[in-house]
A = this chain, B = another copy of it.
Amino acid sequence: MPDNQIIQGFSKFSKDERIGFLSSRYGFSGETRDLLISMQAASPDIQKIIEELSENTVSNYHLPFSVAPNVVVNGQVKTFPMATEESSVVAALSKAAGFWAKHGGFHAEVLGTEKKGQVHFTWPGQPEKLQAAFPEIRKTLLAESRAITAKMEQRGGGARSIELKYLPDILPGYYQLDCSFETCNAMGANFINTCLEQFAQSLQNQFMVSPVFSGTERECQILMAILSNYTPKSRARARVECPDDALDSPSGEKQVAEKMVQAIHIAKNDVSRAVTHNKGIFNGIDALAIATGNDFRAIEACGHAWAARNGQYASLTDARIDNGVFRMEIDLALAVGVVGGVTAIHPLAKLAMQILGNPSAHELMMYLAVAGLASNFSSVKALVSGGIQRGHMKMHLSNILKQLTVPEKIRPLVINYFRDKTVSYSDVEDFVKTILNA
Contact = CB atoms under 8 A, between A and B. Distances in A.
A263 B225 CA distance: 11
B197 A389 contact: yes
Contact of A193 (B25, B69, B72, B392): B392
Interface string A382-398: 01100111001100101
A174 interface: yes
A300 interface: yes
Nearest to A190: B396
A60 B56 contact: no
Contact of A297 (B223, B226, B283, B302): B283
Contacts of A206: none
Interface in A89-141: 89-91, 94, 98, 101, 116, 118, 120, 122
Given A229-B276, A278-B301, A295-B86, A50 B67 contact: no
Contacts of A43: 38
Contact of A62 (B61, B120, B174, B271): B61
B26 A355 contact: yes
Contact of A63 (B61, B116, B312): B61
Contacts of A384: 223-224
Contacts of A273: 118, 120, 228
6 contacts: A35-B348, A52-B398, A55-B94, A59-B65, A60-B63, A300-B300
Interface string A164-197: 0001011100101010000000000111011001
A42 interface: yes
A41 B63 CA distance: 11
Interface string A302-345: 10110110011100000000000000000000000001111011
What's the number of copies of this chain in the assembled complex?
Answer: 2
A136 B163 CA distance: 62
A272 interface: yes
Given A263-B224, A305-B313, A54 B84 contact: yes
B265 A171 contact: yes
Contacts of A308: 304-305, 307-308, 312-313
A432 B267 CA distance: 53
A293 B87 CA distance: 12
Interface in A3-58: 3-7, 10-11, 18, 21-22, 25-26, 32, 35-36, 38-39, 41-43, 46, 49-58
A262 interface: yes
Contact of A270 (B42, B122, B167, B272): B167
A351 interface: yes
B194 A422 contact: yes
A190 B61 contact: no
A402 interface: yes
B41 A61 contact: no
Contacts of A389: 190, 193-194, 197
Contacts of A55: 66, 87-88, 90-91, 94
Interface size class of A (residues with CB under 8 A): 35 or more
A270 to B, nearest CB: 7
Nearest to A346: B85
Interface stretch (A210-218, A361-369, A423-431): A423-431
Nearest to A280: B297
Contact of A279 (B69, B278, B301, B311): B301
Contacts of A176: 270
A247 interface: no
A263 B176 CA distance: 12
Contact of A170 (B61, B270, B313): B270
Contact of A53 (B64, B147, B396): B64
B230 A275 contact: yes
A56 B342 contact: no
Q: Which of A4, A53, A312 has the most CB of B within 10 A?
A: A53
Interface stretch (A75-83, A236-244, A409-417): A75-83
Nearest to A201: B387
A102 B46 CA distance: 38
